[in-house]
Structures are given as structure tokens and as C-alpha cells.
Amino acid sequence: MPGINEFQKLCKSMFTDSMRIVCSATVPETLSQKYHNRLIRAEDPYTIFQMKSQNSSYLLVFSFLEINRCHTIQLNDLYAVSCQNEWNETKTWYFGFSHRMCYNYPMNLTTELREHCGAKGYDEDEQSGYYYTNHDLDADISLQGNADRLLASPLLVLWLIASLLVFAILRWKAG
């Protein structure tokens, strides 16, 4: 996927420094229509974070409402984001199938979304990272971990019982 390497190269500093929350809201219909961005729709939640060391760098996280509880975040890698809430508790979320974009020039969408959520007095953006999330509830992608969950699945057990029953009936009819 070409966007992965591009995001990591262009937004390299976002992986080395933590970011603080600026504001959070939902995408207004007017901006959804104006930008025709196929990755965001009207009423999608978004949260804007600002890099602590570069006030002109912002990360916009789309479609994951829970991230607005984070006071600071840190991109661990392309797929994992660590969140520290107001009680200094840390949680890590995994976004395995997410889409990421990075722009090293001012973006009107960043400015307008920042204004929409009420953030006043912040530096204009010189860098914007857009993180369109797809939250993985369990980041364990190992074969053993997934096989254990599959074998413990009630649906699988029912499917196996039904298959054995059909097999037994067919065998009985044939004999």
C-alpha cells in the first residue's frame, strides 16, 4: 500500500513526539459537501491533536469517537495509538485497516474543521496528518490466537454439530 510508506515518511515527526488534544466535533454537512472527501461523511466524529513540539503540525483522527477522551496521544507505529486520559491512564488502540494521509503544506480542511470545533488562537497548519480509523477490537493477528478464538466460537460449534448431523443422516440414508 503506497500510502503507508508515504505517511510514515511525510509525518515522521508524529511518531517521535506526543500530541495534545485541541478539540473534537462531528463533520458538518457543509464541509462534507464542499470537499467531497469520500473517506468522511457528515456527522462523522473527528478529533484534532496538535504536536507538542511543533505547534503548526496537527493530526486529525476521524470516525473513532472514544479518542476524544485522550488528553495526549502518541503514534506508536502505523497501526497503534497510545492514549493518555485526564487521570493519566494509558490505553492503546489498534487501527489495522485504517487509511492515513499526510500533507506538508496548509490544508483548508484542517483549518475549517479546527474552526468548526471551536479552536481559536492556534497556529495555522503547515503539516496535517489525516487518520481515518478502522478500530480493531483485538490486535492479535497471530494464527494461534485467532484459531483459539475460532475454535471457542459458539457458532463454529453449532456449525460442526449441524455438519455431523447432516453427515450422519446422509450416511444412514445411503446404508
pLDDT (0 to 100) of residue 143 = 40
Q: What is the pLDDT of residues 47-104, one digit of tens each?
A: 999 999 999 999 999 999 999 999 999 999 999 999 999 999 999 999 888 899 999 9
Domain boundaries, given as residue ranges, for the chain: 2-132, 143-174
Strand partners, 131: 61, 100
Helices (H) and strands (E) in the chain, counts: 5, 8
pTM of the model: 0.75
In degrees, rounded to 5, the angle at the alpha carbon of residue 68 between the alpha carbons of residues 64 and 73 is: 95
* Strands lying side by side in the sheet with 99-103: 90-94, 80-84, 72-75, 19-26, 45-51, 57-62, 127-132, 99-103
What single-letter amino acid sits at 33?
A: Q
pLDDT in tens, 141-160: 444 444 444 455 677 777 77
Distance (Å, rounded) from C-alpha 35 to C-alpha 80? 28
The pLDDT value given to residue 97:
83
- Mean pLDDT, rounded, for 15-20: 94
